[in-house]
């Protein structure tokens, strides 16, 4: 992110739409030196706000960290196309969510061959997923009376 003042500082003056919106005394991050691009590391102007640490198979950001070392993560559903949960102060491997919404979504063209897997996998209970009772989404898991539903998950130290 570049920190610098705009050329226009007077709010009462008319702005030239053709050239307005520029940054006064802009210093580019990259410059050509001896036919090669060289970084000009001006840390008073160019400051990083986040660093992406994980991507999903579609190139979307799964995890990032800020300059203070705090991690944030996003969980994707709907064939890894839409964010379904976002966490602050947690790494990707520390976050989980299940809303039962995307078990019946999309075309299973790639599911068996290159599936990325689920954090919590209730696929074995798809026959118990129903639209008759639900909260904020379209589906819920209807557990019959006197029945037990369970899944297992590996828990590791952070």
User: Which strands form 51-55's sheet, in the order they lie side by side?
Assistant: 51-55, 61-65, 71-77, 82-88
Residues of the chain with pLDDT > 70: what percent? 92
pLDDT at position 108, please? Answer: 58
pLDDT at position 135, please? Answer: 83
Query: Distance between CA 120 and CA 127 in Å, rounded?
Result: 16
- pLDDT by residue (tens digit) across 63-75? 999 999 999 999 9
- pLDDT by residue (tens digit) across 41-61? 888 888 889 999 999 989 999
Q: Is the pTM of this model over 0.75?
A: no
**What's the pLDDT band for 26 if we cut at 50, 70, 90?**
confident
CA-based nearest residue to 91, from 119, 48, 62: 62
* Residue 102 buriedness (CB in 10 A; 0-12 / 13-18 / 19+): buried
Helix (H, G, I), strand (E, B) or coil at 135: coil
Query: Distance between CA 106 and CA 13 in Å, rounded?
Result: 53
Q: Are 110 and 94 in contact (CB under 8 A)?
A: no
**What's the pLDDT band for 113 if we cut at 50, 70, 90?**
low
CB atoms under 10 Å from CB of 100, counted, come to 20
Query: Distance between CA 84 and CA 36 in Å, rounded?
Result: 42
């Amino acid at each position: 992110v570049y920190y610098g003042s705009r050329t226009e500082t007077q709010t009462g003056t008319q702005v030239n739409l053709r050239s307005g919106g520029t940054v006064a005394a802009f210093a580019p991050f990259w410059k050509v030196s001896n036919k090669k691009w060289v970084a000009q590391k001006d840390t008073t102007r160019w400051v990083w706000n986040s660093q992406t640490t994980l991507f999903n198979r579609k190139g979307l950001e799964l995890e990032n960290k800020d300059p203070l070392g705090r991690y944030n993560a996003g969980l994707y559903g709907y064939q890894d196309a839409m964010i379904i949960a976002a966490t602050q102060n947690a790494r990707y491997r520390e976050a989980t969510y299940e809303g039962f919404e995307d078990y019946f979504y999309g075309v299973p063209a790639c599911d068996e061959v290159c599936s990325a897997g689920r954090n919590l996998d209730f696929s074995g209970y798809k026959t118990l997923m129903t639209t008759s009772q639900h909260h904020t989404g379209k589906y819920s898991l209807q557990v019959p009376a006197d029945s037990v539903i369970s899944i297992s998950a590996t828990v590791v130290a952070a």
